[in-house]
Amino acid sequence: MYSLPKQGHGWPWIESKLNAFREGDIRWQEGRLPYFVWCTDEAILDIQSRAYHLYHVENGLGSKRAFPSLDRMETDIIGMCLSLLGGGPGSDGTLTSGGTESNFLALKTARSWARVHRPHVTRPNIVAPSSIHASAVKAAEYLNLELRKIPFDDEFRSDVAAMAAAIDDQTILLFGSAPQFPTGVFDRIGELAALAQKMDLWLHVDACVGGMLSPFARRLGHHIPDFELSVPGVRSLSADLHKYGYAGKGASVLLLADGADLEHQRFSYEWGSGTYTTDTFLGTRPGGAVAAAWAVMHYLGEAGYLERAKMVLDTVSALASGIDAIPGLRRVKPHDLCILLYGSAEPRLDINVVAEEMGQKGWYVGRTREPFEGIQLAINPEHQRVMPQYLSDLAASVEQARSTRRTAEFDKSTY
C-alpha cells in the first residue's frame, strides 16, 4: 500500500515523477486522441493556463459574496451561450463542471417541475432514443427515474412515433441529442419538441458535443437541423464548453428557455450556518475553470470559432472520403457534424483487429457496439494535420487485419 512520505520533496523531484508517470499516456499533443482532449493549440492552451492560474484558489461556491468577479464571468458566459443557442427574453442558464452535471441537472429540474405541475405523477419516467448519452442514464438511475429507451430509426435518429407510443401519464421528460454520441447524427428535435408541447412534457436537448460547433457550422453554410432553445417546446439544453468551446476542463452549461425554471433546479437549505443555496450539483467549484472559459471565449471570438469550425468540418469531409476509399470499410451515413463511425463491410475483416492494429501504431481507438461494432472518431481541429497519417495507418491496418484469421474481443472499456 502506498503511504505518505516521511519527508516532503521539492519541485524538481515531483516534476520528474509526474513526467515519468505520463510516459504511458496517449500522445494527445500529436493529435492521436479523438476524445478527452479537444484542443492542442498552444496559444489557446496558454490562455487557458494563464486564466486558470489567476483563479486557481477561488471557489465558485462563494461567487455571490466572496468572489463577485466569478459571478460576473459566469453571467457573461451564460449570455454568450444563450446568444448562440437560441436564448430569448427571460432565458437563463448555469455554468457546470461538464456534460454529466448538465444532463443530471436537466433531469433533476424536470423532476422538480413535474412535482409542481404534474402532481399525479408518482412513478416518473423519461422517454429517450437508445442512443441517449450514458451520463443521462446515470442521472436517471441516481434520480430514480424510469428510463424507457426506444430503438432509433433506419437513419439512427430518434423514432418519434415509437417514442410517442411509449408515453403514459407518468412520463415527465423527452430526451434528444444534437448530435447523439454513438453515431453522430442529430435526433429529430423539431418533431420531439412538437410532441412535448402537445403532451405537456419537458424536452431536454443534449448538445454537449455539438452545442459550441453547430452555430458556426451553420454560418459556414452547412445544414444543421434546428435544435436550439428557440425551437418551441425545447425547455433545456446542455452544451460543453470544454469540447468545441475549447475551454479548460471542466466547463459546460445548462441553458433554460424560461429562467423561472431555475426555481426547480436550485437547492436551498436553512441550517445553523444560514442559507446554503446552489444552482449546481457541486458545492465547491474551481474558479479557474470559470476564468479559463471566459478567457478563451473572449480570445477566440466569433472569428476564431468560425475558423476552427471550418478546420473541423474540412477534416471530417476529408476523413470521410478517405475512409470510403479504403476497401472493406463501411461508414455510417449520413453524418451530421463532427463524429464519424465506420466498421467492416466484409465477413473476413474483423474491425476489432483493425482497431488493435491502429492501437499498435499509437492511435487511441474508440469503439462502438451499436448500430454495429465499429471504430468511432470525434474530430477536433488538430486532427487536420495528422489526417494523412491516420488514413495511411488505417489502410495498412485493414490489410494486416484482412491477412490474419485471428479475432479480437470488443474492448469493453468506456470512454
**How do residues 342-396 score in pLDDT, each as one tens digit?**
999 888 899 999 999 999 998 888 888 878 889 998 888 888 888 999 999 999 9
- Specify the pTM: 0.91
Stretch 278-283: mean pLDDT, rounded?
88
Closest listed residue to residue 39, CA positions, set 214, 229, 249, 232: 249
The amino acid at 50: R
Stretch 10-28: mean pLDDT, rounded?
89
Asked if 235 and 261 touch (Cβ cutoff 8 Å), the reply is yes
The rounded distance, in Å, linking the Cα atoms of 293 and 81 is 11
pLDDT at 415: 34
Q: In order of start, what are the domains of the chain with their CATH numbers? A: 50-298 (3.40.640.10), 301-402 (3.90.1150.10)
Confidence of residue 407 (pLDDT cuts 50, 70, 90): low
The answer to whether residue 405 scores a pLDDT higher than 80 is no
**How do residues 207-248 score in pLDDT, each as one tens digit?**
999 999 999 999 999 999 999 999 999 999 999 999 999 999
The rounded distance, in Å, linking the Cα atoms of 136 and 127 is 12
pLDDT at 41: 84
What does DSSP say about strands 171-177 and 202-206: parallel, antiparallel, or unpaired? parallel
The amino acid at 325: A
pLDDT at 409: 54
SS3 for the chain is CCCCCCCCCCHHHHHHHHHHHHHHCCCHHHCCCCCCCCCCCHHHHHHHHHHHHHCCCCEHHHCCCCCHHHHHHHHHHHHHHHHHCCCCCCCEEEEECCHHHHHHHHHHHHHHHHHHHCCCCCCCEEEEECCCCHHHHHHHHHCCCEEEEECCCCCCCCCHHHHHHHCCCCEEEEEEECCCCCCCCCCCHHHHHHHHHHHCCEEEEECCCCCCCHHHHHHCCCCCCCCCCCCCCCCEEEEECCCCCCCCCCCEEEEECCHHHHHHHCEEEEECCEEEEECCCCCCCEHHHHHHHHHHHHHHHHHHHHHHHHHHHHHHHHHHHHHHCCCCEEECCCCCCCEEEEEECCCCCCHHHHHHHHHHCCCCCEEECCCCCEEEEECCCCHHHHHHHHHHHHHHHHHHHHCCCCCCCCCCCCC
pLDDT at 412: 44
Closest listed residue to residue 401, CA positions, set 345, 318, 362, 331: 345
The answer to whether residue 411 scores a pLDDT higher than 60 is no
Can the peptide bond before residue 371 be classed as cis, meaning omega within 30 degrees of 0?
yes
Stretch 102-106: mean pLDDT, rounded?
97
Among 35-49, 73-87, 155-169, 401-415, the minimum mean pLDDT is found in: 401-415
Residue with cell 441553458: 255
Stretch 59-65: mean pLDDT, rounded?
74
The answer to whether residue 410 scores a pLDDT higher than 70 is no
On the 0-12 / 13-18 / 19+ scale of CB atoms within 10 A, 56 is middle
pLDDT at 303: 97
Closest listed residue to residue 389, CA positions, set 328, 322, 295: 322
Confidence of residue 408 (pLDDT cuts 50, 70, 90): low
The rounded distance, in Å, linking the Cα atoms of 122 and 130 is 24
The rounded distance, in Å, linking the Cα atoms of 48 and 41 is 11
Stretch 171-190: mean pLDDT, rounded?
94
